[in-house]
Structure 1
Amino acid sequence: MSSQALKDIAAVLLEPTISALENVIPVQGPNFENGLSLQDLLRSYERIGFQATSFGRAVEIVNRMRKWRSSEEPVAVNGSGEAGPHDKAQTRCTVFLGYTSNLMSSGLREILLYLVKHKHVSVIVTTAGGIEEDFIKCFGDTYLGDFHLSGLELRKKVIQRIGNLVIPNTNYCKFEKWLTPIMDAMLEEQKASGKVWSPSTMIHRMGKEINNEESVYYWAYKNNIPVFCPAITDGAIGDVVYMHSFRNPGLIIDIARDIRMLNELSRNSKKAGMIILGGGVCKHQIANSMVVRGGADYAVYINTGQEYDGSDSGARPDEAVSWGKISPTGDSVKVFADATLVLPLLVAATFAQEDT
């Protein structure tokens, strides 16, 4: 055998130097031999590998987020508008929660309600569907269907499909009937007092009017948690706004007030954390608000988006660092997964531990 061949073989058989890598731990899965509690199972995720390990990292970051306390003198942050932020000492991390409309349509609504009811989050950013689907469920159920149901047959039956969920169109009609007189009253107040409405103050008013403890936004109203919806007309709410503009024109909804309020909430936070479920408007609006403070301190993304097409929805946290949306010293992770699979486990391993 030639000397070159011996060198080639020797290169293949080089001794590994694992010790040269930092923070190396062995891969290990859960052991079911003696039974596992839910918390033991969730703690085992961080050593499984792949997205399980990313989930374990998300648990760690959310726990840091929720347990952080300021060692400095508290500073009061005074908001403006009816749906302003908590006027109290800002000694805890401000948790910005974002989610897409399909998640409110799903059974995650009850988990989102839990987070808002118990004040585990400070600020919400979502889409029009993320608002209306909560209220619509107060008027009628959403049902489990199938991804393969015929769109044509559903259309004939006046039923809409969201993935493998179905909703009777009558639920949307009930929502329109409920929202229209609220908008009439908003317009009267605008004319009488010059009140300027924004999406967040409109949602605050809707949460008050629904007066239903099964509503996420009822609890946002009760707990004075601001809810921002930059694309509030992109859904059934927009349909009602459109029809209302003919029947009773003149209502103004000012989005400029909300972007100032959202950015100021970010700027005045001693620590800021992002938990963002899905992509699109809710993801970028929260992340972009972090630029004014030099980036978020904590960030957890949960979505199935990919980055190869350059979309913000699929972008990983490191891209946000380049824009100043996440601090270079911040803790961040992206879990590539459907939020309906991951969020229940994440909340069980984090926020729910405060209430047990």
Structure 2
Amino acid sequence: MSCDGISTSKNPQSSEILSSDLETARAAVLKEAKIFDHSKIKIEGYDFNKGINYEAILDSYISTGLQASHLGKAIEQIKEMIKIRNEHFVVDEGIDINFPYPAGRKKQKLTLFLGYTSNLISSGLRDIFRFLAQHNMIDCIVTTAGGIEEDLIKSLKPSFLGDFKMDGRELRNAGMNRAGNVIIPNKNYCAFEDWIMPVLDEILEENNILTPSKLINKLGEKINDEKSVYYWCWKNNIPVYCPGITDGSLGDMLYFHSATRSKSLIIDVVEDIKNINTMAIRSNKTGTIILGGGIVKHHINNANLFRNGSDFSVYINTGIEDDGSDSGARPDEAISWGKIKCDSTPIKVFSDATLIFPLIVAKTFAKNLKKD
């Protein structure tokens, strides 16, 4: 007996059972490791003993694990898109070097589609998108009605930082609108109406039938502001597609305009779907960068279905796939539809785009900026 009264005698049978149990446990817990080719990157983060080096910190993301590694992979994927797009491209004899729409838009070795939702134009990412359009770093934009109007409105009146928890009733009584923690005064929309009505009158005199992309192009020209995304899209002949153009303040303006004129504008969405699908079909390779979900995400992916899928794809959103929504679907679901090529390596970063897209642009597009 031990001093605490517990027997310490050894029973041969119990010892034999214990030995057998240990062998079973060891086999289960210490299972032999086999070579796994999926990844040979060792997980490690940034060592701050080396000092503060933001370039190196971002480089360390790919080996950090979790969503940091997805961000690192997204950066590498976009670098590859840019590299291919910038390579010298010669089309086969008899093939037009330009896309049929917009006229004069030259084909690159890779056509880069950028998509974003309206909340991101409401945020400071507007200035990042403007940078990309200003330097002709993208070939096509797809966005929502809010993604158009908020850019134009910001050229007229500013938005302000608020808080997610501001009281909706108080804001309504004060004539303020909240988009997350961005506050947009009602007077901004009044200024938008004052500006756009004469522009719509002018368009109506020229031609009462036009596509959403041609309307956006005209608005970009008329806003005449170098801080505007769509000013630069007009300037650089970058097509902007908006399949849900009536779903926002822009739609409100079209409604007010049609209700107060003897004839109204007719928006031809069919020509635009033909144009974006043709752009995808006639591209040598395609890459897609899609921030957010909804109609923007599907419209770009569906256009690429017509060429049997995009070659490169990066998603940035916080949607989940469990409800079966297209917004939350992982890239693998798009592969099943033929919207992304089977031999591609698409990546989804689960994040608010405002957190990481500036970092991505800093590591990719901004590094490729050719200064005069």
State the alpha-carbon separation in 1 of the partners of residues 103 and 48 from structure 2: 46
Q: CA deviation at 1:305?
A: 0.1
CA change 1:190–1:23 in 2 (3 A) is same
- Identify the match of residue 156 of structure 1 among 163, 173, 178: 173
1:284-303 alignment, distance < 5 Å: 284-303=298-317
1:130 paired to 2:130: no
State the alpha-carbon separation in 1 of the partners of residues 103 and 328 from structure 2: 30
Aligned to 2:365: 351
Tell whether the 8 Å contact from 1:94 to 1:122 is kept in structure 2 after alignment: yes
State the alpha-carbon separation in 2 of the partners of residues 315 and 137 from structure 1: 32
1:149-188 alignment, distance < 5 Å: 149-188=166-205
Q: Give unpaired runs (5+ residues) of structure 1.
A: none
1:1-20 alignment, distance < 5 Å: 1-2=16-17, 4-20=20-36
- Identify the match of residue 135 of structure 2 among 98, 118, 140: 118
CA change 1:87–1:108 in 2 (3 A) is closer
State the alpha-carbon separation in 1 of the partners of residues 137 and 89 from structure 2: 22
CA change 1:224–1:39 in 2 (3 A) is same
Q: Once structures 1 and 2 are overlaid, which stretch shifts more, 243-252 or 120-129?
A: 243-252
1:80-99 alignment, distance < 5 Å: 80=100, 84=102, 86-88=104-106, 90-99=107-116
1:34 paired to 2:50: yes
Aligned to 1:76: 96
State the alpha-carbon separation in 1 of the partners of residues 133 and 237 from structure 2: 10
State the alpha-carbon separation in 2 of the partners of residues 99 and 174 from structure 1: 24
Tell whether the 8 Å contact from 2:105 to 2:237 is kept in structure 1 after alignment: no
Tell whether the 8 Å contact from 1:26 to 1:47 is kept in structure 2 after alignment: yes
Q: CA deviation at 1:331?
A: 2.5
What is the CA deviation profile of residues 138-172 of structure 1, one whole-angstrom value per residue up to 9, with x for unaligned ones? 11111000011111101111010000110110011
Q: CA deviation at 1:11?
A: 1.5
- Identify the match of residue 281 of structure 2 among 261, 267, 271: 267
Q: Once structures 1 and 2 are overlaid, which stretch shifts more, 341-350 or 36-45?
A: 36-45
Q: Once structures 1 and 2 are overlaid, which stretch shifts more, 35-44 or 266-275?
A: 35-44
- Secondary structure at 2:210's aligned position in 1? coil
1:98-109 alignment, distance < 5 Å: 98-109=115-126
Aligned to 1:198: 211
- Identify the match of residue 73 of structure 2 among 33, 44, 57: 57
Q: CA deviation at 1:9?
A: 1.9
- Secondary structure at 1:115's aligned position in 2? helix
- Secondary structure at 2:344's aligned position in 1? strand
State the alpha-carbon separation in 2 of the partners of residues 11 and 351 from structure 1: 51
TM-score (norm 2): 0.90
1:207 paired to 2:227: no
CA change 1:222–1:293 in 2 (3 A) is same
Q: How many equivalent residue pairs?
A: 349
- Identify the match of residue 331 of structure 1 among 329, 332, 345: 345
Give the % identical residues. Answer: 48
1:303-322 alignment, distance < 5 Å: 303-322=317-336
What is the CA deviation profile of residues 97-125 of structure 1, one whole-angstrom value per residue up to 9, with x for unaligned ones? 00000000001011010011011111000
Q: Which amino acid aligns with 2:147?
A: G
Larger Rg: 2
TM-score (norm 1): 0.94
Tell whether the 8 Å contact from 1:129 to 1:235 is kept in structure 2 after alignment: yes
State the alpha-carbon separation in 2 of the partners of residues 92 and 120 from structure 1: 13
CA change 1:181–1:124 in 2 (3 A) is same
Q: CA deviation at 1:13?
A: 4.2
Q: CA deviation at 1:354?
A: 1.1
Query: What is the RMSD of the two structures over their aligned residues, measured on CA atoms?
Result: 1.6
- Identify the match of residue 260 of structure 2 among 231, 247, 250: 247
Q: Which amino acid aligns with 1:197?
A: L
State the alpha-carbon separation in 2 of the partners of residues 239 and 46 from structure 1: 45
Q: Which amino acid aligns with 1:205?
A: K
CA change 1:336–1:150 in 2 (3 A) is same
Q: CA deviation at 1:5?
A: 1.7
Aligned to 1:279: 293
Tell whether the 8 Å contact from 1:85 to 1:265 is kept in structure 2 after alignment: no
State the alpha-carbon separation in 1 of the partners of residues 150 and 20 from structure 2: 69
Q: Which amino acid aligns with 2:224?
A: N
